Amino acid sequence: MTMLRGPYWTLFARCLHVASLSETTVDPKEVITRFLFQGSHFAVTTGRVNPTALMPYDNKNSKRRETSIIRTDGLQDREVWELGYQIHEVAVTPRPIKARAVGVAAIVIDQQLQFDINGNPYPRHADIIGWPVGDEKHARLALATEIANRMTLEVDTRPQKQ
Amino acid sequence: MTVLTPSVRRVQTAAAGASALVVARLLLEVAVHERSRATDWRPVVRAAIQQVASDCSSPNWDGYGAKPVSLRSKENAQRLVDLLPVDLPEPQAVADPDGHIALWWDFGRDRVLTISVDESEVASYAGIFGRDVRRHGQEPFRDDVARALLDSIREVSSRG
């Protein structure tokens, strides 16, 4: 990610440090996060994550469906948020984070889905892959429902910008 | 145990003997009264769909490459809402990353149902109806809502 090779790289080197994480497998006990940008993707009052927030993106380049997540083991809570701010709000997309879905990797692995540890577009990044292909959207929705059902919601406590 | 099964909902008490029927009838009256008090949430959800569609009308609205919500999906979702009986619980309108609109009923862990509406009058759904009950599939809709969808909505909201 070329945009991270400026001052952000130094500033967030610690957050991005991945020496403690396996480069080949995601341990079922590892904590993963998906940042949420759309208010309808979660319910603050119930602390629940909407399944559509976990639905995979149809990546035309890789020709597969994938859901982007961040591996956050070894980071303090504040560092996870900072990582998200810099990656999503400054470096890549000027889109304010509203919340994040948090869970352990086992939630994904239990659905027979896999992680692609690609470190792209930034270290600690991985994609959830292995989603059902074709027109069977309901099958993907069922898996996303299982994952969302077991994730917890953490809402960004910063004053919301308009 | 006395059970009455009215058209509104199942009424059940643990009472036994002569008083059981009285108790069950009283509960039935409560259920009927509840239904009559139900406000029509459909205009509210229609407006929510409109808002979500507006919020998600640009590409990448979710930060992960989502497609913009299509006009057709929005209209179909609103039509589906119009076809739902008003005594069902109110759903939340949600944008789907593939450009569709979904309706979400969430009653806590293991009690969740999502119905996603596409451009071609097909509704994909997936739900968890208690710890060991899962169901998903797709149903066409045009002038009415498939029984499977209605039953799923009732089931997810009724399981305690």
The answer, yes or no, to whether residue A2 has pLDDT greater than 60, is no
Q: What tokens appear for B140 in the block?
A: 């066409």
Helix (H, G, I), strand (E, B) or coil at A117: coil
Distance from C-alpha of B124 to C-alpha of A138, rounded to nearest angstrom? 5
Q: Give the relative orientation of helices B42-55 and B71-83 as an angle to the nearest 10 degrees.
A: 170
pLDDT at residue A12, as a whole number: 59
Alpha helices by DSSP H, listed for A2-151, are: 7-11, 13-16, 77-84, 106-109, 137-150
Q: ipTM score of the complex?
A: 0.86
Chain A: closest CA distance from residue B98 (Å): 8
pLDDT per residue as tens digits for the range A25-63: 899 999 999 999 999 999 999 999 999 999 999 888 888
Q: What tokens appear for B24 in the block?
A: 């069950």
Strand ordering across the sheet containing B122-129:
B92-95, B101-106, B111-117, B122-129, B134-140
**Per-residue three-class SS string for B44-95:** HHHHHHHHHHHHCCCCCCCCCCCCCCCHHHHHHHHHHHHHCCCCCCCCEEEE
- pLDDT tens, residue order, chain B (160 aa): 444 444 444 445 555 667 766 776 677 666 655 554 568 999 999 999 999 999 999 999 998 989 999 999 999 999 999 999 999 999 999 999 999 999 999 999 999 999 999 999 899 999 999 999 999 999 998 889 999 999 999 999 985 5
CA triplet A67, A70, A76: central angle to 5 degrees?
155
Q: Where are the beta strands (DSSP E) in A3-162?
A: 31-36, 42-43, 48-49, 57-59, 64-71, 99-104, 114-116, 125-129, 152-155
Alpha helices by DSSP H, listed for chain A, are: 7-11, 13-16, 77-84, 106-109, 137-150
pLDDT at residue B30, as a whole number: 66
Distance from C-alpha of A51 to C-alpha of B127, rounded to nearest angstrom? 10
pLDDT at residue A139, as a whole number: 97
Which residue in A has a C-alpha nearest to residue B64's C-alpha? A57
Band of the pLDDT at A122, cuts 50, 70, 90? Answer: confident
Signed CA dihedral, A152, A69, A134, B81: sign only:
positive
pLDDT at residue B77, as a whole number: 97
Distance from C-alpha of B59 to C-alpha of B109, rounded to nearest angstrom? 31
Distance from C-alpha of B103 to C-alpha of A40, rounded to nearest angstrom? 10
**Chain B residues inside the 8 Å CB shell of A50:** 92, 94, 102, 104, 106, 114
Helix (H, G, I), strand (E, B) or coil at B15: coil
Q: Model-level pTM? A: 0.83
A9 touches chain B (CB under 8 A): no
Band of the pLDDT at A88, cuts 50, 70, 90? Answer: confident
The answer, yes or no, to whether residue A142 has pLDDT greater than 80, is yes
pLDDT at residue B141, as a whole number: 86
Which residue in B has a C-alpha nearest to residue A34's C-alpha? B64
- Is there a contact between B109 and A149 if contact means CB atoms under 8 Å apart? yes
Q: Residue B72, Cβ neighbours under 10 Å: how many?
A: 15
